Structure 1
Amino acid sequence: MGRWEPNARGRLEKAALDLYAERGFEKTTVAEIAARAGVTERTYFRHFADKREVLFGGTAELQGMLTAAVAGAPAAAAPLEATAAALEAIGGVFLGHRDRARRRQEIIQANPELRERELIKMAAFATALAETLRGRGVPDPAAALTAETGIAVFKVAFERWLDAPAEKELPDFIRESLNELRTVTAAP
């Protein structure tokens, strides 16, 4: 190891993405990720519990942002409107990070274990969102339906954003997807 360099976590994330893309998730070891990032394995484990978690860093922060935005929405906001504002808020986190998100998603889609982990993450988001809506006085099943719908909107918008040219960002796709939802649920 050479002299200390800042941003070990960021270097580990980049090294993992590069190695997973080059060799595949299954064939990459923590030791290889650490070496590529210029740190020790011990440093790796200070930041991530295992080699999957390098792809899921920030999950707790995103969930916290999502629930805080719903909880902080105006009292008069309808459940879906509070959820929409929260989705747009977390969409802003991804501004300027489309290429990294695209690479991450390709790695996840190529591995059943990682796809399962991503589904678990989304289910946890929906559960936390429903609980926050209940805390705002939204009864069930409306709280659960709104939360699940919100996560579905996010997933669709995220996939569209990854496939789109660079002129539009994730919050734009979230708004468009919510408008599509409103269109399909509007009375004829």
Structure 2
Amino acid sequence: MLVEGIKSRPVYMGLSIQPRARRHIFALEGEGAHALLDRKAALDSTALSRSEILYAPRGSQGKGNDEALRALGADMFFAAPTIATLLFRLRGTLTTAHMGTRLYIAGTEGFIGQAMIVALDHGMDHASVITEHRGSLARRVQCVHCKGVTEDVTHSPFPCGHCGLPLLVRDHYSRRLGAFQGVNIDAEEPGSAPDPEELFL
């Protein structure tokens, strides 16, 4: 049911440390910690002295990622209890950021989308933000009918958590909302929705 080649679908190029940046801000969620830990060799003491790491363990809690990130020795390290807390901290950090600051985001697609919204709200160009997808393929989906957003969607179709309509998860992505679009799959023939398929693990 998915359509290939949708132009709005984000492409995540992977973290690439920019050595000339005046400041490095890493917003990481869950398995996204490994995107940075795997590039430890590219982080010398100078880069780390200009780095801030914001991390929300989420599904990786208890795996020691927070200790490994803290051990890198960045100028600042903040372990957030929730994604909302991390995004609040990211807003504050970007409010005082100067020219030459680089933002790196790694984690699930839903997290990357939400952190990207914060970056765009602070005048950053989406093409200058360095991203890497790690972890679950579950999607953040907005119902185009009631405008409600459902997190961690793994099936299509699925019942909207707000209005209850059976939604087909499209590959169309809204950067403004940080979410894929869900449309009513049985609008013309109510009750004819096919069985859900697990597509996004």
TM (normalized to structure 1)? 0.30
Structure number with higher strand proportion: 2
- Higher-helix-fraction structure: 1
Relative to the length of structure 2, the TM-score reads 0.28
